[in-house]
Structure formats: C-alpha cells, structure tokens
Amino acid sequence: MPVFRSHADDTRPQIETVLQVEKEGAGHAAAVAAVKALEAQPPSALLPLLQAMDQANPLAANWLRGAFEAVADRNAKQSNSLPVDDLEKFLLDRNHAAQPRQAAFDLLVRLDPKADDRLVPGMIDDPCPEFRRAAVQRLIDAAAKASEAKDAAKSKSLYQQAFAAARDPDQLDLTFDELTKLGEKPDLKRQLGLLSDWWVIGPFDHRKGIGFDVAYPPEKEIDLKKKYGGMLGEVAWTHLESDDRHGIVDLNKLLARHKGAIVYAYREFESEKAQPAEIRLGTPNGWKLWVNGQLAFAHEEYHLLTQMDQYPTRVMLHPGTNRFLLKICQNEQTEDWAQDWQFQVRVCAPTGAAVLPKDAKAAPGSAGG
C-alpha cells in the first residue's frame, strides 16, 4: 500500500470540516487540523479540493485554496504527476464557481505559460469576471492594432465586440470612446446598468452630524405627492435626471448647495424575475440604502473618496416592482475637497453584468448585456 493514497472519499471528512468554517472564527479550531491534513495529500486531492470550493462560502473557499496551492506547489516540479487534463476540464466547465476555476487556471498557466493564449480567447462570454476581462482586453488590443494599420472597418468591428462583451467600467469607457470616434452611438449608461433618474427630496437637517440616525418622513412612508418640513422650510419630491456620462446625480447642481444636510432619493425598479443583484453605489457622503423597505446597508464616512462601484450591496430583487430608497448625508467640512454631494448607482448581477429594469429603453446602436 502506498504511503499516500487519496481520492474523494479520503479527503471528504477534512473537506467537510473546512466547509464548516464560518464568520467570526466559527469552526476554525477544527479546520486548522483539517487543512493541515489536506495540505499533505497527493495530487489526486486537487480535483476534490476544487469541487469543494464550489460549495464553499468565501471564507472556506480560501482555506481550500490554501490547501490546493500547497498540494500543487509541492508537486509542481513533477508536472506529469498533476491531473492537468482534469484541471483544464474543470476550468472550462462554466457551471463551476469563479474562484476554483481561477485556481485551476493559475496552476495551468504556471505549468504551461502558453496555456494563456490557448484558453483566454474563448472566454469572451465567460461568467467569471477576470476571464471575461482578459478576453475583452485581447479584442481591445487587436482593435487598436487594426486602427494603427488603418483598417477602420476591422477596428470598429472589434471594438463593437469588446463593448458588447465588456463589463468593467474602464473597458466600457475605452471602447465607448473609440466607437464614438468611429461615428457609432453606443449606450454606455445601459451597458453599465446606471440608474440616472431619481425622485429626490430635501434638505433635511444634518447640522452637527445629527441626521444620520434620525428617521425623517421618507423613511416612514413614500408618497411622492406629500410635502414635509425640512431643514429650511417645506420640501417636496422632485424628479431629477442626471445627464452625466456616468449617471452621477450632483445634488449641489441639481438641487442646491447645502451643508449639514440630507436628501432622500427614491426610485422603482421593475425586475423581470426574482434575482440576486448588487446595488453598486458611489458617493463621497454618508449613506443608507433601503430595498423594499428593508435597510440593506449604511455607512457613514465623508470625503475620503468616490468612485464607481465604491459600495456594492448584495440584495435579492423581487419579480415586479422593487423600491430603492437612498439617504445621502452631507457634512459641514469647509475644505475645497469636501464639497461634493452626489451619488451614482448601477445595478449588476454578481458576475458584473448590468441588470436593467424591465422598462429600460434600448438606445439605437446599443449592444445587449
């Protein structure tokens, strides 16, 4: 009998123990011993470890990845001992989760640096954001080369493919600009899933930082016809639409410049089905978000930074009408760099694909998500 023998049944008890790892240290003491045993396994444990990552929570997935890399590392010098074909088969099966597929990809490329060229081009519609991004980048690079070679038709075609496939804001921005130069009218907001029109009401009082935890009327009821007492007098709901390229709703510009003030922004979102989604907020201000009357997240910091996708909040959308309510709080800092009062929202699937409301209009020339 060999000293080391491993197949799925051998490793299952240890894997099960690691899968019990939870937040706040739960299951850690048992998992420390289990992961040590897994790290001592032969290469035949690699596939069971990847398969287990499919079922793992994000924390347990990292424990399993640690074991996967330790086993792979110990055996990498004898690459013929590694189940390369099985690893590639696992990688190419898009039913598997992104993380274990990434672990398989990293190992395959380490063993054969040319595997990158072989595998990436076919990943243009991959649900894994990193694979898809790499494939899109190849199209962008090819489009730029075609442009340099004065082949405008080929360049345009490649940029169109890249724009249709891209999900990351930087790649969408770049391809949008190139297509616009080529006379196209791509719909950047739609491709990003930006929500640029909102009902807004305010200002409510946030002087001396008092308002973050005060439940002003919009937190108790949404009635777009009602008026309420605000910080400076009566306030009413107003419909605002941002014309910003990235859907930034600039409250200083669209409402009025206030300090120590709060606005609420409300809109409805028609979802075709029940689906998980990320509401991705960017704001330099303190904020709260309610979805269908439930507080989804709240965070109070001011003027450290603002960017797209700054705060992704995972929610479950209901089929039909979903109600989004935002509270955007401006503090009273006086520095030049502390004056912005704004927000930007897009809705994406966990893979990064834009999730559009059912009634979203398709712009001429826009590509599907």
Q: Name the token pair of 320.
A: 């039909």
Residue 291: helix, strand or coil by DSSP?
A: strand
Pick between residue 69 and residue 151 the one whose CB is nearest to other proteins. Answer: 69
Contact call for residues 152 and 179 (beta carbons, < 8 A) = no
Q: Which of residues 66-85 bind other proteins (CB under 8 A)?
A: 66-67, 69-70, 73
Q: Is 246 an interacting residue with respect to other proteins (CB under 8 A)?
A: no
Among 116, 141, 170, 268, binds other proteins (CB under 8 A): 170
Q: How far is the CB of 298 from other proteins (least distance, A)?
A: 8
Q: What is the phi-psi region of residue 74: left when phi exceeds 0, alpha when psi lies from -120 to 50, beta otherwise?
A: alpha
Cβ count near 128 (within 10 Å): 20
Cite the beta strand spans of the chain per DSSP E.
Answer: 197-205, 227-229, 234-236, 238-241, 249-250, 261-271, 275-282, 286-291, 294-299, 311-317, 320-330, 342-348
Among 112, 173, 309, 340, binds other proteins (CB under 8 A): 309
Q: Name the token pair of 41.
A: 């396994």
Pick between residue 103 and residue 222 the one whose CB is nearest to other proteins. Answer: 103
Q: How far is the CB of 275 from other proteins (least distance, A)?
A: 22
Q: How far is the CB of 101 from other proteins (least distance, A)?
A: 11
d(CA 38, CA 357): 46
Q: How far is the CB of 42 from other proteins (least distance, A)?
A: 15
Among 61, 87, 162, 249, binds other proteins (CB under 8 A): 61
| Site track for other proteins across 89-118, x = CB under 8 A | ----------x--x---x------------
Helix count (H) and strand count (E) of the chain?
12, 12
Q: Name the token pair of 35.
A: 């992961």
Among 52, 108, 133, 194, binds other proteins (CB under 8 A): 133
| Site track for other proteins across 250-289, x = CB under 8 A | ----------------------------------------
d(CA 101, CA 87): 9
Cβ count near 188 (within 10 Å): 22
Please count the residues of this chain forming the interface with other proteins, following the rule CB under 8 A. 44
Binding site for other proteins (CB under 8 A): 21, 23-25, 28-29, 31-32, 35-36, 39, 58-59, 61-63, 65-67, 69-70, 73, 99, 102, 106, 129-130, 133, 168, 170, 297-302, 304-307, 309-312
